[in-house]
């Protein structure tokens, strides 16, 4: 609807404004001309254009999803490491594991590399990820007390009484979930090379992921306390200290396993 202010007299603009308010109150949202518009006769640039289709983003193809044999790549890279320092550098540069993207630190190892006993844990938790060291926080304190009871320490300078600790996965899984079989398989070549470079007399497999990595099977309550062999080394499966914190009743079996280890070393 159009209103000519001259027709309404000197106060026509007041009337026009009142009419506009009235139309707004009625719900008018667009101004319509007095004559219809032939939109088919408009130039293309003035014709209403259809809404643009949403942009389609191509999926990001990472090396781990591009059909690459990540286990073969890891095996080749690990084999090139001639020392623990080189192995750590290779592992820190390895970008094919998605876990690395969400981790704060690469957790490599702690303790004395000359130790007779190597403890293989599962995967870093929040404390280990924050500190960049395996067996940190309460589980680490539990581990230190357990092995101190049989005269072993990761702070020991004498290989006979020292410990060396590392983990199957160097990066923390989201929400501390259990390591997946594919992740264990991908990182296993680095674990194997790590053990070969340290060359311990005995390996303690702490937890299901460590047993799955070294022995190809899990079920720690069934495996614990029974010696096995992996990579040419004697392996003693034991409950992970974090499990013992959740299940104090299992500490008795853990103590029996520690005595078994002490007898083997003696």
Domains annotated for the chain, with CATH where assigned, are: 65-265 (3.40.470.10)
Mind listing the pLDDT tens digit for each residue in 202-253? 999 999 999 999 999 999 999 999 999 999 999 999 999 999 999 999 999 9
Mean pLDDT of the chain: 86
d(CA 179, CA 209) in angstroms, rounded, equals 7
Can you give the pLDDT at residue 65?
44
* Residues 6 or more apart in contact with residue 223 via CB below 8 angstroms: 211, 215, 217, 237
Q: What is the share, in percent, of the chain residues with pLDDT greater than 70?
A: 75
pLDDT surpasses 80 at 171 = yes
pTM of the model: 0.75
Residue 235 three-state SS: strand
d(CA 80, CA 148) in angstroms, rounded, equals 35
Helices (H) and strands (E) in the chain, counts: 11, 6
Mind listing the pLDDT tens digit for each residue in 30-81? 566 566 656 555 555 545 555 554 443 333 334 444 568 999 999 999 999 9
């Amino acid at each position: 609807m159009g209103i000519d202010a001259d027709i309404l007299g000197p106060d026509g603009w007041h009337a026009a404004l009142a009419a506009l308010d009235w139309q707004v109150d009625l719900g008018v949202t667009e101004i319509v001309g007095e004559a219809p518009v032939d939109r088919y006769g408009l130039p293309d640039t003035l014709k209403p254009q259809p809404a643009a289709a949403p942009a389609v983003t191509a999926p990001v193809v990472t090396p781990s999803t591009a059909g690459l044999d990540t286990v073969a790549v890891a095996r080749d890279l690990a084999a090139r490491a001639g020392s623990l320092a080189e192995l750590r550098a290779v592992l820190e540069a390895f970008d094919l594991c998605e876990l690395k993207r969400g981790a704060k630190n690469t957790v490599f190892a702690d303790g004395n590399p000359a130790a007779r006993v190597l403890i293989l844990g599962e995967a870093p938790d929040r404390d280990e990820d924050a500190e960049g060291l395996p067996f940190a926080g309460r589980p680490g304190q539990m581990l230190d007390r357990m092995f101190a009871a049989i005269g072993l320490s990761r702070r020991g300078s004498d290989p006979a009484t020292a410990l060396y600790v590392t983990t199957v996965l160097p990066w923390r899984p989201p929400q501390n979930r259990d390591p997946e079989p594919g992740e264990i398989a991908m990182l296993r070549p680095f674990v194997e090379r790590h053990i070969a470079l340290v060359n311990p007399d005995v390996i303690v497999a702490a937890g299901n992921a460590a047993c799955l990595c070294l022995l190809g099977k899990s079920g720690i309550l069934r495996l614990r306390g029974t010696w096995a062999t992996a990579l040419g080394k004697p392996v003693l499966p034991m409950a992970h200290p974090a499990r013992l914190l959740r299940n104090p009743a299992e500490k008795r079996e853990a103590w029996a396993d520690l005595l078994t280890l002490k007898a083997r070393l003696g």
